[in-house]
Structure 1
Amino acid sequence: MSTVIRPELSKSSKYWIDRHRYYELKHFCLQYPIWKKAAQMLDALSKSPSLLEEYIKSGRISDPTVDCAEARSFYLDRIDLLERTAENAAPEIAKYLVTGVTSGVSYDFLKSRLDIPCCKETYYDLYRRFFWLLDRARK
């Protein structure tokens, strides 16, 4: 049985954020694999502008190369924000945090499959810190 993180902490907690804001940030993080794929595809498709329409939503007539660069920049900025926030939250377990928040896996999965180098209590404290920092960065 996995641990379920409560969506709202006590207001006296140092990492308190509103429950709905937490869910908003959590769903933001769950888009990470989509951003990675889109950035990778935009990089590969930049040589074939006719195939870019799937990743670029634009109603104006413009230069496909510029559209590709803008869309790729959009995805890379979000990827960087998430990875930088994980690095600020806990440099020693940043890669585990990124895996946890972007794929919704539990500590138990991280421990058994990826051998995370900390205890469950420490991980979830840093997990909450990550979302608290992400909340500050996304204001």
Structure 2
Amino acid sequence: MSTLIRPELSETNRYWIEKHRYYELKHFCLQYPLWRHAYNSLIDYPGSWPQLVPPCKTNVVSDSVTKHIDERLYYADRMKMVERVAKETDEELSCYILEAITEGISYDHLKARTGIPCCKDVYYDLYRRFFWLLNKERQ
């Protein structure tokens, strides 16, 4: 279920970003559940290390621990960025914004599901502000 918001605002709007950039950022945020799942699946990785890596013929050093740490940092950095921008958007409504942005749910569904304590106009203003801030963060 996607949010039914116009992808492009008037250029005079203070939170205007280009339509395709908005879609890029929206799809970036929709990957959040995948990042969380991948991050959590890597937690038990060191416990499954009994197999030894055979030597490689190319003399390339393969460090599975470093790869594992790099992957976890990659997912953690992306999740923290989205969470930080949601908090920067609005401290009190950040949990609602984060849920809607990462799961692609509309205000109406969010209102019915969680009882968000603001009106639709305020929510969509914050929604646009979130993507505007994320656009600045990812440049």
TM-score (norm 1): 0.88
Over 3 Å counting, the alpha-carbon distance change for 1:68 and 1:115 in structure 2 is same
Matches within 5 A, 1:39-58: 39-49=39-49
TM-aligned CA deviation for residue 3 of structure 1 = 6.8
Q: Which has the larger radius of gyration?
A: 2
Matches of 2:116 and 2:33 in 1, distance apart? 21
Over 3 Å counting, the alpha-carbon distance change for 1:68 and 1:126 in structure 2 is same
Matches within 5 A, 1:1-139: 4-49=4-49, 61-139=61-139
Instruction: Give CA-to-partner distance per residue, 1:37-96, whole Å, 9 cap, x none.
Output: 000001122322489xxxxxxxx6411111100000000000000000000001111011
Matches of 2:10 and 2:110 in 1, distance apart? 26
Q: Which amino acid aligns with 1:37?
A: H
Q: Which amino acid aligns with 1:63?
A: D
Higher helix share: 1
Q: How many residues align?
A: 130
Q: Which amino acid aligns with 1:34?
A: L
Matches of 2:111 and 2:19 in 1, distance apart? 27
Structure 1: 5+ residue stretches without partners: 52-59
Q: Which amino acid aligns with 2:104?
A: G
Instruction: Give CA-to-partner distance per residue, 1:6-25, whole Å, 9 cap, x none.
Output: 00000000000000000000
Q: Is the 8 A contact 1:36 1:79 kept in 2?
A: yes
Q: Compare relative contact order (CA 8 Å, sep 6+) and give the higher one, 1 or 2.
A: 2
Q: RMSD across aligned C-alpha pairs, in angstroms?
A: 1.7
Aligned-residue identity in percent: 51
Q: Is the 8 A contact 2:3 2:105 kept in 1?
A: no
Q: Is the 8 A contact 2:30 2:101 kept in 1?
A: yes
Structure 1 moving runs of 4+ over 2 Å: none
Q: Which amino acid aligns with 1:70?
A: D
TM-score (norm 2): 0.88
